[in-house]
Structure 1
Amino acid sequence: MSIKTEADMFERELQKLYHAELEILDLNGDLAEAAASEEIRELFAGHREDTVAQITRIEEIFELAELPLEERGSPIMEGLLAEKDEFVNEVESDELRDLDAIGVGTINERIEITLLDRLVLLAESLDHPEAVVNRLEQNRSEAESALRKMQEFRERRRES
């Protein structure tokens, strides 16, 4: 896909976000399974419902923006999945497993927030309907909430 306009960029970034969210369904399941503590397992397992809702909103955005529903892979997401695989296959200590799960989860949420920021900016610039911007902002709010939960876990670990 050749990117010549903001509309092209919006479509590409939306496809990348859609692909990322579909991958995140599996990623969070893998992180929950690999975590040592119940708290971390519940954190990632509990995020599944949010991710499904985010995917639904992205699908609605494709429809509202009159774009074909397609996903596009991203080198950033592939790198994150490789990082997760390395952690799952190599980290043996329970304490380190939880820290690594939180680390991978934090990277994921930051990537998601960055993609959403870019999409909001483009959607506003392209005068997409308010419903598009609202859905993007709702997904961003949920990503920020998930990131805060992970940061709170890190802070509790630091203080203990």
Structure 2
Amino acid sequence: MTTTTPTEMFERELQKLYHAELEILDLHADLAAAAATDDVAALFTDHEADTVEQIHRIERIFEELDEPPEAEGSPVMEGILTEKDEIVSTDVPPELRDLDVLSTGMMNERFEITVLDRLLLLATDLDLPDEITTELATNRQEAKAALTAMEAIVERRRLEDG
């Protein structure tokens, strides 16, 4: 699909976000299973309910736009999934495994935040209803909270090792 209008860009980005959230359910389960420590595993398993609710919010946005939910992949998300596949199939020491798992999780959350920021800007430009911007903003807050939790573990470990 050629994107020539802000509305088309909004729809494309929403489809990308929907695809990413659907993939994240499996991504987080795989990262939790690959984690070497309980705190890192819990970070990903605890985020599952948030991801399910984020998917529901996106579906409500599609409904508000009177569009069927449609997922469209992106090269960035495919790269994150490829990274995850490599991590879970590689045998590395536990401290490196957790760093790999956390780094992949942080890349994913940053991608989500970037897409959500773009959607929020477009929603404002398009003067979309508050219901849509509220759903997007809530998803962004949750993605930011997940990223912050991952960064906190990395920082704590850096300080412990320093």
TM range (shorter): over 0.9
The answer (yes or no) to whether the contact 1:102–1:150 under 8 Å persists in 2 is yes
Partner of 1:59: 59
1:42 partner SS: helix
2:89 counterpart of 1:94:
no
Partner of 1:133: 133
Q: Aligned equivalents of 2:142 and 2:157: distance in 1?
A: 23
Partner of 1:47: 47
Partner of 2:29: 29
**TM-score computed with the length of structure 2 as normaliser:** 0.97
Q: Which runs of 5+ in 1 are unaligned?
A: none
Q: Aligned equivalents of 1:41 and 1:69: distance in 2?
A: 30
Deviation at 1:159, TM superposition (A): 1.0
Q: Aligned equivalents of 2:154 and 2:85: distance in 1?
A: 21
Q: Aligned equivalents of 1:32 and 1:38: distance in 2?
A: 9
Matched to 2:130, the amino acid is E
Partner of 2:73: 73
Deviation at 1:66, TM superposition (A): 1.9
Partner of 2:150: 150
Matched to 1:35, the amino acid is A
Deviation at 1:67, TM superposition (A): 2.0
Matched to 2:77, the amino acid is M
Q: State percent identity of aligned pairs.
A: 56
**TM superposition outliers: structure 1 runs of 4+ over 2 Å:** none
2:20 counterpart of 1:20:
yes
Deviation at 1:121, TM superposition (A): 0.5
**TM-score computed with the length of structure 1 as normaliser:** 0.98
Deviation at 1:91, TM superposition (A): 3.8
Deviation at 1:149, TM superposition (A): 0.3
Deviation at 1:87, TM superposition (A): 1.0
Name the Cα RMSD after superposition. Answer: 0.7
Partner of 1:103: 103
2:123 counterpart of 1:123:
yes
Deviation at 1:70, TM superposition (A): 0.6
The answer (yes or no) to whether the contact 1:16–1:71 under 8 Å persists in 2 is yes
1:67 partner SS: coil
Partner of 1:3: 3
Deviation at 1:90, TM superposition (A): 1.7
The number of residue pairs the alignment matches comes to 160
Matched to 2:152, the amino acid is E
